Amino acid sequence: MKIPRFRPVFTPGGFVILAASLFILIRSLYSRNPYEIVVSSAVLLLLLVFGVIGAWKSKKLDAFEGGWKPPFPMTANAGEESLITGLDITAPLFFRFHFIVRGRFYPSGSHTEKAEGCPVLVETSVPRGETSAKLLLDFPMSGVFRGEGYFRLRDVFGFFSFSCGLIQQRTLNVRSAPCFGKNYHINAQSGAEDRRNKSSTDEERYYMREYTPGDRFRDINWKSSDKIDALITRISPDNQEKVSRIEVYFRNFGPVKKPPLESIWLLDRAKARLSHFLRTLKEEQANYIFHVTSAQGSREIEDMADLDDFLEELAGLPFVPAQNETAASALAAGAGDLYIFSTACDMGLPGFLVSCNMRPVSLFLVQPAEASAKNADTETLRIREFPASGCVPFPRWFLRRAVKPLVIRSGKIETAYAEKKI
């Protein structure tokens, strides 16, 4: 069982006021100063009234559960706000409801029990008379956020903060901020061609489509058309459309234990380029099927729903140490073009490219920004963006830990550059 966290009802400012008032009251009673007695007693009485009202109202709201709706998909640096709803109850006079989100953000995507996460704390207040509020929970890069959201009842003077309602747990995948690179145009014949195999029981599902001008009238399925009030045309089972399979390899190999921010930022930009590549091609040709392999395994992407599921999973993929790549050997021995996305942290990349010398390879590589490469196209991550988002960066991130660029001299390469600044 999870032990409830104790949260004091006095704020730091309220505790100081209480201690000062008691001190003044005791001193005034000893010195018999009527002015100080009246003032300190009035302040203590005010604290007592506010404390009783707040405790009574918060007790009535023990089972209260408002709505916390984060944006989906959640994207880094998007400036999108979470919606806090369900506040149909009225706060007492001189009180306001506050919604607080507290947790940890894992920029590398690794959110195991032993992984380190940056502390996160953001808060918003609900205006009096409103039934909803907005909370800005934004992050400067991709990763995973694990935390909780809860309501507090606070007075406008800042004396008390009472817990009310149920605690809501959330695990949110944060996708990479988009990169606006060029659109990709590939040869449809470069991927392995595949045919969709359909059983006879699926004929109604797979060999019917809406009528278009030019179709023969004798091919119209009048029975199905009458059911949905639209003309449906039969398609012969022999008229199967060829589908191009595109092999993609996302190499998320790199440092695992306390990776430097420079390396994590390179991985983030590699994720952004992979997302842009897949979405651009899928919007261009809906019949493309992607076979995507990463260090965690492989999966097929056939439609936009599969693509959205993969992009949600991609946001949480961390670095994986170099290993004996059985899947990589199978990819190297395959046929057709292979599209590889990697970073300068991938020490095994040169050897893998050598093993693919019999196969056309297109490499999308994210390198650290060199002096000769620092231009308008270099993508920059600034550490000061973390505190601005309510996220506390690790002190070691302020130290410069240079990542050496990889030297790749073979194949078709598209290089992007990224750097970290304070």
pLDDT tens sequence across 70-129: 999 999 999 889 999 888 888 899 999 999 999 999 997 776 666 788 999 999 998 888
Q: Which residue has the tokens 């694990």?
A: 146
What does the angle CA 278 – CA 281 – CA 285 come to, to the nearest 5 degrees? 135
Amino acid 112: pLDDT: 64
> Helices (H) and strands (E) in the chain — how many of each?
9, 18
Cis bond before residue 178 (omega within 30° of 0): no
Taken in order 360, 362, 367, 369, the sign of the CA dihedral is positive
- Helices 304-314, 261-284: axis angle to 10 degrees equals 180
Contact 335, 192 (CB under 8 A): yes
Amino acid 46: pLDDT: 93
* Mean local confidence (pLDDT), 6-28: 89
Amino acid 160: pLDDT: 93
pLDDT tens across 361-394, in order?
Answer: 889 999 998 754 555 578 899 999 999 889 999 9
Token pair in block for residue 148: 């909780």
Please provide the size of the chain in residues: 422
Cis bond before residue 8 (omega within 30° of 0): no
Token pair in block for residue 107: 């920029």
High-pLDDT (> 70) share of the chain, %: 83
Token pair in block for residue 403: 């990542």
pLDDT tens across 206-249, in order?
Answer: 467 776 655 666 677 777 777 777 777 776 554 444 557 889 99
Q: What one-letter code names the amino acid at 177?
A: A
Q: Which of 57-71, 153-167, 402-416 has the lowest mean pLDDT?
A: 402-416
pLDDT at residue 1 above 60? no
CATH number attached to the domain at 242-421:
3.40.50
Q: Which residue has the tokens 């600044």?
A: 421
pLDDT at residue 2 above 60? no
* Among 297, 299, 293, 296, CA closest to 321: 296
Q: What distance in Å separates the CA atoms of residue 143 and residue 145, rounded to the nearest whole number?
A: 7
Residue spans per domain, the chain: 12-60, 67-175, 197-234, 242-421
Residue 33 half-sphere exposure toward CB, CA atoms < 13 A = 12
414 CB neighbour count, 10 Å cutoff: 14
Name the average pLDDT for the chain: 83
Q: What distance in Å separates the CA atoms of residue 305 and residue 132, rounded to the nearest whole number?
A: 31
* Among 282, 316, 389, 370, CA closest to 146: 316
Q: How far is CA 210 from CA 17, 197, 219, 238, 294, in A?
A: 74, 21, 11, 18, 38
Amino acid 378: pLDDT: 86
Q: Which of 25-34, 322-331, 385-394, 395-404 has the lowest mean pLDDT?
A: 322-331
Q: Which CATH number fits domain 67-175: 1.10.540, 2.60.40, 3.90.380, 3.40.120?
A: 2.60.40
Q: Are strands 338-343 and 242-250 parallel, antiparallel or unpaired?
A: parallel
pLDDT at residue 336 above 60? yes
Q: Which residue has the tokens 């145009």?
A: 185
Amino acid 376: pLDDT: 57
pLDDT at residue 272 above 80? yes
Amino acid 195: pLDDT: 45
Question: Where is pLDDT greater, at 177 or 128?
Answer: 177
Strands of 295-411, DSSP E: 297-301, 338-343, 361-368, 379-382
pLDDT band of residue 258 (cuts 50, 70, 90) is: confident
Q: What one-letter code names the amino acid at 413?
A: I
pLDDT at residue 5 above 80? no
Amino acid 183: pLDDT: 67
Strand partners, 170: 147
Q: Which pTM was predicted? A: 0.79
pLDDT band of residue 340 (cuts 50, 70, 90) is: very high
